[in-house]
Each structure stands twice: as C-alpha cells, then as structure tokens.
Copies of this chain bind each other. A is one copy, B any other.
Amino acid sequence: MPNPTAAMLVIGDEILSGRTRDSNMPYLAGELAKKGIDLREARVVPDIAGEIIAAVKQLRARYTHVFTSGGIGPTHDDITADCVAAAFNVGIGVRDDARAILATNYANPEVDLNPQRLRMARIPDGARLIDNPVSKAPGFTLGNVHVMAGVPAVFQAMVDGLLPRLVGGKPLISRSVQINMAEGLLAGPLGEIAGAHPSVTIGCYPFNRNGVYGANVVLRAEESGALDAAESALKELVGGSVAPTS
C-alpha cells in the first residue's frame, strides 16, 4: 500500500515579506518522514481569507493530510480557523471545552479571558482539538486538515501530540555519501545508478569548500536492501572519490 501523502500550508504575511524565516516546514518534514507520511507539497499564502480558503480546498482534495501553521492567535489577522470552517462549509463558534482549556492559562479567567483571547476558543463544528502543552490555546483537526499554531515551540508540541493519532506508512530510509568529485563528472554515473535502481530516489547536492568541488549524494528508499544495492553500485563507480565517513 502506498504511503499516506501530505501537504503543508504555511499562513502568514511575515514569511512572504522575508521578515520571518519559516522553521515549521522543516520540522514537520522531518517528523513526517519518520512516520512514513510523504510530504508532497508546501505552500505559503498571505493572511487573506480567499487565498487561505482556496488553498485548503485544493490541498485537502489532493492529499491524505493537510497541516497548517499560523493564524490562530488572538489578533485581527488571525483568520485561519474561520477560513478552514469556510473551506468545509461548516459553522464556527466558541466551544466550551476549548474555552475551559484556554481558561487554565490565566490567573483570573473571568477578567483575563477577554474577547480577543476568546477568539482562540472558536472551533469549527465537528473538529477535534489538538493539545497545546505550551500555551494551552488548542489547535484542531477538521476532516483531513490539521490546524496548528505558527509559533515554532507550539507548532512542534502540537505536531508531537498529533502524529501518534495518524496512520503512518513505511518510513523512507536515507543515506548520504560525500563524494569529492565535481557534480558534472558525477552526473553520468549517478544517472546510470538511478536508471538501474528505480526504487531508490537519488539526489545530488553540490558544494564548493575552499575551492574543492564535491557533492553529497543522498539515496532514499523504503527498503534497506534496495539502498544497500544502490550504495554499493555508487561506491563501485566512483570509489576513489568517496570521502571517508568521519
């Protein structure tokens, strides 16, 4: 059975403006790889309702899972929950269980839980909450869409709580071989190996360190046997240039 697939949707003007560098996508990518869920696409969209809704609709129709980050805080530009509700055509409102969880974050909930903070307890109808051990305000899963915070510590904690719920597949295993040979010379042998080992994905990432050209070749497969065979073939073809493993 093929692995489940996934897309990530990063929501936030601050990423598109170059002000903030997203670190949630690399984190999610690494965790999904371990779980055997194949991340096939990532998108960054601005804090504009029409854009978010369209992306959620498109991605959820295409992949087993969609993971979103950003836009679920208390401020006026936090519109993700409403957009996800709209994409599913369901209602949204403050939910008692979410409000109760949120209240535990404040010394004096009657006063502290102002209308803005209460926005964080607005949950689309039919959603299941995602635990937030860092700052309480929950994320949620609606259908195959998992809505999480943008703050990296919170995003990561939510992912860690969510993934055990999901059905995984075969984790890709990978090996990286550093080869001290210019990519243009390595390209021929690599193409041969790729052709002969179709179940292995082979990537080549060139570098230039102090004037020395080389490349990291990354082999990825679901089966270690296939990986062994491709790795042996690679070392045979370019043997003298393989860097010793440190």
A residues adjacent to B (C-beta < 8 A)? 12-21, 23, 25-30, 32-33, 39-47, 51, 73-77, 112, 114-117, 119, 151, 172, 174, 183-188, 190-191, 194-195, 201-206, 218, 220
Residues of B within 8 A of A74 (CB): 183-184, 187
With A40-B46, A184-B117, A185-B114 as known contacts, state yes or no: A77 contacts B202, CB within 8 Å. yes
Residue of B nearest to A135 (CB): B208
**Oligomer copy total:** 2
Residues of B within 8 A of A43 (CB): 41-44
Residues of B within 8 A of A115 (CB): 188
Q: Are A117 and B187 in contact (CB under 8 A)?
A: yes
With A14-B205, A205-B14 as known contacts, state yes or no: A183 contacts B42, CB within 8 Å. no
Complex Cα distance, B66 from A8, in Å, reads 20
Residues of B within 8 A of A205 (CB): 14, 20
With A184-B116, A202-B76 as known contacts, state yes or no: A16 contacts B42, CB within 8 Å. yes
Q: Are B42 and A73 in contact (CB under 8 A)?
A: no
- CB A109 to nearest CB in B, in angstroms, measures 12
